[in-house]
Structure 1
Amino acid sequence: MIFAGSHLSSGKGYEAMGRHALKLGEDTFAFFTRNPRGGRAKDIDPKDAAALRKLTAEHSFGTLVAHAPYTMNLCSAKEDVRKFGLEMIRDDLVRMEMTPHSYYNFHPGSHTGQGAETGIRQIAEALNLVLRPDQTTTVLLETMAGKGTEVGRSFQELREIIDQVELQEKLGVCLDTCHVWDAGYDIAGDLDGVLEEFHRVIGLDRLKAVHFNDSMNPRGSRKDRHQKLGQGEIGMEAMRRIALHPALQGLPFILETPNDDAGYAAEIQTMRSWFA
């Protein structure tokens, strides 16, 4: 089995997100810790967070997957941008303890011309400053499509970040199906081979979540444009094989497809039907 959900807005509160997820047939969901474009985070009502924890326990939800703002870049060539990103992730990891034992997913960043080696070092340095032994949150590095100067376009780049982090037990990986496809990994024609490579380079024990998206682009395009399930270049049959793969069972699968609520509910129902 998998836990299936989509990205929900935290604007109406934590418990409201949980109830919205239930309406869509979800048993997990993702949410942005603050505006996706950055800025100050809204204060969390402890009673609201407690109500969400109660709701998710009552309905046997899987692990929730928070998402950092897209503007958070821990490896920019600009020092002020790196500092801004560091402040965001430090604050977010404190806030994440309101929903303990959740995942905090982030795009590793773009080195903006410094080179991947420098970017990898800067990301690891930032993580070494913010990760704490007592935190319950697992921080997830997301696999990236490789557009522009993105870091994380290969499993090896993520491995190099992990190797330079002291509290490695606090780190995991979120595999984005659109991103790895656009980065050149053939998850449609050789899924077993891709997962074997992931295990060899990173270790499947670090794979904690899946962003489940088809792609508008041919494999290796490095463009990162998500598509609805079965309407892209990966295709529905390949998406089904991914969801049913033994190595991925029990993980939260988060839809980031270009959909409205009705579309997400339909895709969740399709995913459920694969396990019937």
Structure 2
Amino acid sequence: MRYIGCHLSSSVGFAAMGRTALSIGANTFQFFTRNPRGSRAKPVDPADVAAYLALAAKAGLGTILAHAPYTINPCSKDERTREFARLTLADDLRRMEYLPGNLYNFHPGSHTGQGLETGITQIADTLNAILTPAMHTTVLLETMSGKGTEVGSRFEELREILDRVTLTEQMGVCLDTCHVSDAGYDVAGDLDGVLTEFDRVIGLHRLKALHLNDSLNPVGAHKDRHARIGEGTLGAETFRRIVNHPALRRLPMLLETPNELPGYAAEIALLRGFEEAE
């Protein structure tokens, strides 16, 4: 079974997100843990969590993906910004224990002129400070486009972070199709080659989720501008291959395309139409 969904607003609560996902043909979804451009998080409602877990079990909703806010940067040159990232990530992971066994994704950060080596060290230090053996959440580093001083546009950079994390079994990677293309990996022209390189550098066993986004820019542009499926430079056929690739088709696949719910419903139907028998 393919687990395909999209990004939903978390302001309505978990049970409502689950119902919305099902109403548009999704069987998984992604949500922000708090205001994506701020710092505040709503209190977790145990009754809402219980209602969601009951719905998920009954309807067969798959592993879901929580996304950290964009405001965190664990490798900023500013110590207060790094401390905010540590506190926010740690708080989010405590809250994720209400939904054990799911995924938590974050952008590794931008080194803000300190240099790649310092950035990688600071990201790993942050993870080592917040991960605990008792956690039931897998934390994912997202592949980035290489815009500005972003860390994580090359597979080698993600591998270096992973190698420096002590509780490495609690870590994984989320591959964003727009980001990796913009970073210079030709997912449209050579998907197998990109996955072979990912496996060589990081290991496919660490790939835990996909962000399915077309790109407005050509491969290697380092821009990060998402497009609807089939309306960008990757093209619909790329996503047909992704949905059916034996190394990918069991992973949660989340849309982050510029859409409202009707558009997401149409894209999910499109992706479902690509599915081939296993």
TM-score range, shorter chain: over 0.9
Give the structure 1 partner of residue 236 of structure 2. 236
Q: Secondary structure at the match of 2:113?
A: coil
What does 1:45-64 align with in structure 2 at a 5 Å threshold? 45-64=45-64
C-alpha distance in 2 between matches for 1:146 and 1:235: 21
C-alpha distance in 2 between matches for 1:74 and 1:88: 10
Give the structure 2 partner of residue 108 of structure 1. 108
Tell me the C-alpha RMSD between the 2 structures.
0.7
Give the structure 2 partner of residue 22 of structure 1. 22
Compute the displacement of 1:54 (Å): 1.1
- Aligned pair count reads 276
Segment drifting more, 132-141 vs 1-10: 1-10
| Cα deviation 1:114-165 (Å, max 9, x = unaligned) | 0111000000000000001010000000000000000001100000000000
Give the structure 2 partner of residue 134 of structure 1. 134
Segment drifting more, 178-187 vs 50-59: 50-59
Matched, 1:153 2:160: no
For the Cα contact (< 8 Å) 1:5–1:29, is it kept in 2?
yes
AA aligned opposite 1:170: Q
AA aligned opposite 2:18: G
Compute the displacement of 1:38 (Å): 2.5
Give the structure 2 partner of residue 187 of structure 1. 187
Give the structure 1 partner of residue 117 of structure 2. 117
| Cα deviation 1:44-96 (Å, max 9, x = unaligned) | 10010111111111111111000000011000000000001110000000000
Q: Secondary structure at the match of 1:11?
A: helix
Compute the displacement of 1:27 (Å): 0.2
Q: Secondary structure at the match of 2:26?
A: coil
C-alpha distance in 1 between matches for 2:98 and 2:204: 28
Give the structure 2 partner of residue 11 of structure 1. 11
For the Cα contact (< 8 Å) 1:227–1:258, is it kept in 2?
yes
Matched, 1:83 2:83: yes
AA aligned opposite 1:267: E
AA aligned opposite 1:273: G
Structure 2 residue runs of 5 or longer lacking an equivalent are: none
Q: Secondary structure at the match of 2:209?
A: strand
Q: Secondary structure at the match of 1:17?
A: helix
C-alpha distance in 1 between matches for 2:135 and 2:57: 20
What does 1:147-226 align with in structure 2 at a 5 Å threshold? 147-226=147-226
Normalised by the length of structure 1, the TM-score is: 0.99
C-alpha distance in 1 between matches for 2:38 and 2:161: 23
For the Cα contact (< 8 Å) 1:140–1:171, is it kept in 2?
yes
For the Cα contact (< 8 Å) 1:38–1:72, is it kept in 2?
no
Normalised by the length of structure 2, the TM-score is: 0.98
Q: Secondary structure at the match of 1:268?
A: helix
Q: Secondary structure at the match of 2:146?
A: coil
Give the structure 1 partner of residue 33 of structure 2. 33
Structure 1 residue runs of 5 or longer lacking an equivalent are: none
C-alpha distance in 2 between matches for 1:143 and 1:57: 30
C-alpha distance in 2 between matches for 1:183 and 1:161: 18
Q: Secondary structure at the match of 2:18?
A: helix
Q: What is the percentage of aligned positions where both structures have the same residue?
A: 62
Give the structure 2 partner of residue 263 of structure 1. 263
For the Cα contact (< 8 Å) 2:104–2:137, is it kept in 1?
yes
Segment drifting more, 236-245 vs 88-97: 236-245
**Deviating runs (4+, > 6 A) in structure 1?**
none
C-alpha distance in 2 between matches for 1:171 and 1:68: 15
C-alpha distance in 1 between matches for 2:169 and 2:191: 27
